[in-house]
Amino acid sequence: MRFPGFDEPWKAIHLSDVGEASSGFGFPDAYQGEETSEIPFYKVSDMNLPKNIKVMQQANNYVSQSTVKKLRVRPFFEDAIVFAKVGAAISHERKRIALSPFLIDNNMMAFTPKQKEDLEFIYHLFQKIKLSKYSQVGALPSYNASDILDIRTFYPTSGNERKKIVTILSLVDNRIEKQSEIINNLKKYKRGVFEAIFSRKLRLVSKEEQRDWKIFKLSDFASRIIRKNNGTTDIPLTISAQYGLIDQRDFFSKVVASADMSGYYLLRKGEYAYNRSTSNDYPFGSIKRLELYDKGAVSTLYLCFSVNENVMVNDFVKWYFESSQWYRSINEICAEGARNHGLLNVPTDGFFNTTHILPTDTKEQTVIATFLSLIQEKLEISQKGLNKLTELRNGLMQQLFI
């Protein structure tokens, strides 16, 4: 895709033709820093580094703004693209920044364009280049300054064309950033509303209609499911934080269930499964309702149940188990040290005897479920908007760069 008025071919270059790369003691303007408090201090947390790069995550706390004066720092001047040596362009700055020697010597490098006005264009260009092709041999991709400078690519001859490409990509990037902020704010709002509703700080019915909430055992409104699959369905289910109960083939791109699922539990739409495996997002495991399929099979390691809708509205129960209010009751029946390889030791009888403070009025339950569904719907619409913007950006990157 070309902009009108630009038809001259792009030229083949080495990156050394348009900039300089440096790392470690090769950084420009290295010196024993004394007066560095006015220089923005660049921390690992400011960089979108891969979570699996542990040394970089640990480096986050290596030095603080308060101690930067005590360290030998090597500041960049403005107009530099900052890299992680594991390969991704992570920031481009038009301001002076300071890095600790630890980051510089172990993890960081910089690319400084020869023409300052090309900073943003080269930043986008790096995102197009598949740097993994140029990595050193090792457990993780690794790059030296010479690797970066030797990369061959295509470059627009016209500076005006480079500016137009930057303009359109920057517009999309700004929109993606704003959409991400919207989603993060919605998630914070959702967490706050959940906390307020299930702690009874927020009531969604009028004062005249409010009824006391009372303590229910899970067995008061739920019945355990132990029906065997016996070949009824070939859909092996797993629990996903984002998608709930989902076909393993869609989630893992393979089946991790046993070849013979006849002994698995058969779950029908609207019924629940409790996965006792812990994670950062679900410290007491997760309870999800089957919504994507009419039926599916789950491992007998899961605790499954259906809801008695004469006592509790099913949609309300779904949202209750999306909150963290039920964690307290699980925590009470987990023996100390019960976590074994991430699997909680929650006995079946104990699970169904857990207590939960819930509204007795089905009208209030329905109002709560409807309100929380609207928040979730807004969040999902916003996420779809972000996905569309990301697809648009990826498409533009494919079409604007050779």
So what's the pLDDT on residue 85? 54
So what's the pLDDT on residue 298? 94
Rounded-to-integer distance, Cα 245 and Cα 287, Å:
9
Same domain, yes or no: 284 and 229: yes
Same domain, yes or no: 233 and 354: yes
Q: Is residue 96 part of a domain?
A: yes
Backbone conformation region of residue 331, classed left if phi is above 0, alpha if psi is from -120 to 50, else beta: alpha
CA distances from 104 to 44, 75, 300, 375 (A): 11, 10, 51, 44
Structural domain for 83, as ranges: 11-156
CATH number at residue 85: 3.90.220.20
Give the total number of structural domains in the chain: 3
So what's the pLDDT on residue 83? 65
Same domain, yes or no: 349 and 385: no
So what's the pLDDT on residue 317? 97
Q: Is residue 1 part of a domain?
A: no
Of 156, 177, 196, the one marking the end of a domain is 156
Q: Is residue 301 part of a domain?
A: yes
Same domain, yes or no: 64 and 134: yes
Same domain, yes or no: 217 and 292: yes
Same domain, yes or no: 119 and 253: no
So what's the pLDDT on residue 314? 97
Same domain, yes or no: 171 and 290: no
**E strand or H helix at 378:** helix 362-400
Of 156, 188, 220, the one marking the end of a domain is 156
Same domain, yes or no: 41 and 70: yes
* DSSP string for residues in 96-129: -BB--HHHHHHTEEEEEESSGGGHHHHHHHHHHS
* Assigned token pair, 54: 């542990």
Same domain, yes or no: 398 and 330: no
CA distances from 264 to 109, 259, 272, 304, 305 (A): 53, 11, 14, 11, 14
So what's the pLDDT on residue 300? 93
Q: Is residue 203 part of a domain?
A: yes
Same domain, yes or no: 191 and 222: no
Q: Taking every pair of C-alpha atoms in the chain, what is the biggest distance, in angstroms?
A: 76
Cα 356 vs. chain centroid, distance in angstroms?
30
Short-list 179, 65, 140, 123, CA closest to 401: 123
So what's the pLDDT on residue 132? 62
Q: Is residue 4 part of a domain?
A: no
* Spatial strand order in the sheet of 108-113: 19-23, 108-113, 80-84, 89-93
Same domain, yes or no: 239 and 332: yes
Burial state string for 197-214 with b = 16 or more CB within 10 A and e = fewer than 16: bbeeeebbeeeeeeeebe
Q: Say how many C-beta atoms besides its own lie within 10 A of residue 136's C-beta.
A: 11
* Assigned token pair, 334: 């987990």
Q: Is residue 6 part of a domain?
A: no
Q: Is residue 5 part of a domain?
A: no
Token look-up 């943003």 returns: 120
Write out the chain's pLDDT in tens, 402 residues.
Answer: 888 999 899 999 999 999 988 765 444 443 344 444 443 434 333 444 333 322 223 333 333 444 444 444 444 445 677 665 544 444 554 444 444 444 444 456 677 889 988 988 988 888 888 766 666 655 445 667 788 889 999 999 999 999 999 999 999 999 999 999 999 999 999 999 999 999 999 999 999 999 999 999 999 999 999 999 999 999 999 988 778 899 998 888 777 777 789 999 999 999 999 998 888 788 899 999 999 999 999 999 999 999 999 999 999 999 999 999 999 999 988 764 444 456 788 999 999 999 999 999 999 999 999 999 999 999 999 999 999 999 999 999 999 987
CATH number at residue 179: 1.10.287.1120
Reported in sequence order, the residue ranges of 94-219 that DSSP labels E, i.e. its strands, are 108-113, 152-155, 213-217
Residue 301 identity? L
Q: Could you give the count of Cα atoms lying within 13 Å of 341 in the half-sphere of its Cβ?
A: 0
Q: Is residue 66 part of a domain?
A: yes
So what's the pLDDT on residue 79? 67
Same domain, yes or no: 276 and 371: no
So what's the pLDDT on residue 137? 56
